[in-house]
Amino acid sequence: MVEKLQMTLRDNSVARWIVLVLVASMMFFGYLFMDVMSPMKSLVENAYGWSSSNYGTYAAGEYILNVFGFLILAGIILDKMGVRFTGLLSAGLMVIGAIIKYVGVSEWLDANNIEWLNSWWVTMPGSAKLAAFGFMIFGCGCEMAGTTVSKVLAKWFKGKEMALAMGLEMAIARLGVFVAMWIVPLISAKYAVNGVNSVVAPIAFCACLLVIGLINFFVFTIMDAKFDKQLQAIGEMSDGTNEEDEFHVSDLGAIFKSKMFWLVALLCVLYYSAIFPFQKYAPNFLETTLQISSDTAAHLFSWFPILAMVLTPFLGAFLDFKGKGATMLMVGAVVMVACHLSFAFLLPLFPSKVFALAIILILGVSFSLVPAALWPSVPKIIDEKVLGSAYCLIFWIQNVGLCLVPLLIGLLLEKTGGYRVPMIVFSIFGILAFIFSIYLKREDVKNGYGLELPNKK
């Protein structure tokens, strides 16, 4: 009878997997919108007069407000207000940002011809300014949503298949990148005007999907409210009156003093700086290197997240039952370096679509190894009551790189006129990530954090 009373929604496998689907779908729509412009780089530059540096500034816009402190604030909000409030806020910000971005590139507004919008920062077209601003708002919501979803899964899959759940969530989110590379060119061509493909139609479509993501998260909040009542009933969750269990801003100091936190955070920023900014330029890189159309290039690169999507859940399950998380981080970094060096030196010598696809798929292996091991490792080194803040601080440090790197790549493209130097820069990030992964494994061996141990209890 006692065992029956202690059962919660978390112990109901159907309920916790429904939660995964609800929150992962929000991230799927977020990732889809995140890369909606990637297949249209050449189109937007020709149609709106953007330069490569303008495009780089737009791409960096997703992370600018996060770098200047929003993600730290998001972590505090998450730990003080909980996953329900923070998730709805983040989903709402994504929708608002998407609308602003849509307005910025819409034909009826014609932002490039608005005098007050073009009277300052004259090298940046008005459409690029508004698109970047909307992307800033969206980026605040998307990064906040990512940390919220991580804490949701840590809460609902505690003592269960946590790494598998996080792996599946990442797989579903990455499917958004694949879909973007296929559906954006189709919608763009479908709504072409006078033979010129549409930039607006794909953005409008993806913005509508973000609204569906907001609705899905609202459904989750209903389930989570019931779950919290069950946790309070069995005494697993504090009612907020226990001073020791309550989050305080001063608790952030313990995070900053943790050597393991900094190793994870620096590994994260270096690794992702060679992945997400690369996604923004990859279709154009393939287009120019292989001398193929932008649509073909987007379709070719669309396979990048597929192998990662397939492998990540299996790697998550492997982590749950066998462990070896720190080792997986090292292997993933090495694979990523090999791929970017191949893009820099081998693909220009052997410009084959088959060869390019092989490198892209192998890069997808790296993109499954590192995230699958990285995010489930954080709860092992950080206290649960500040876990949301820890995730947000890691995302904040990551966003510094994700903000600066697209700007750097855009400038390098204008200076060098080609992609070899940018690919070498991406490779250097991977080498540094590998070095930090070595230090991380050494600290785990010395202090027994359990990064190499299985998650399943």
d(CA 29, CA 441): 34
d(CA 198, CA 37): 11
DSSP 10: G
**Amino acid 30: pLDDT:** 95
Q: Where are the domains of the chain?
A: 14-235+242-447
Distances (CA, A) of 380 to 22, 184, 215, 406, 448: 25, 39, 32, 32, 10
Amino acid identity of 44? V
**Amino acid 1: pLDDT:** 38
Digitized pLDDT (tens) for each residue of the chain, 457 residues in all? 344 446 888 888 889 899 999 999 999 999 999 989 988 988 988 888 898 889 888 988 888 888 887 878 887 888 888 899 999 999 999 999 999 999 988 887 788 887 878 788 888 999 999 999 999 999 999 989 988 998 899 888 887 887 788 878 888 888 898 899 899 999 999 999 888 899 999 999 999 999 999 999 999 999 999 988 888 888 776 444 344 455 566 667 778 888 888 998 999 999 999 998 998 899 999 999 999 998 899 889 988 888 777 887 788 778 878 888 889 999 999 999 999 999 999 999 999 999 999 999 999 889 888 877 887 788 888 877 777 778 778 878 888 888 889 889 989 998 998 899 999 999 999 999 999 999 999 998 888 888 888 866 6
Torsional class of 238: left (φ above 0), alpha (ψ -120 to 50), beta (otherwise): beta
d(CA 104, CA 152): 34
Name which of 426, 375, 36, 389 is nearest 210 in CA terms.
36
CA angle 288, 290, 294 (to 5 degrees): 60
> What are 196's strand-pairing partners?
193
**Amino acid 36: pLDDT:** 92
CB 38 within 8 A of CB 28: no
Cβ-in-10-Å burial (0-12, 13-18, 19+) of 418 comes to: middle
**Amino acid 237: pLDDT:** 60
Name which of 89, 139, 177, 93 is nearest 371 in CA terms.
177
User: What HEC string does 225-293 produce?
Assistant: HHHHHHHHHCCCCCCCCCCCCCCCHHHHHHHHCCHHHHHHHHHHHHHHHCCHHHHHHHHHHHHHHHCCC
**Amino acid 239: pLDDT:** 40
User: Residue 356 CA to chain centroid, in angstroms?
Assistant: 24
What kind of fold does domain 14-235+242-447 have according to CATH? Answer: Growth Hormone; Chain: A; (1.20.1250)
Name which of 406, 402, 404 is nearest 273 in CA terms.
402
CB 393 within 8 A of CB 67: no
Amino acid identity of 280? K
87 is written with which tokens? 């998730």
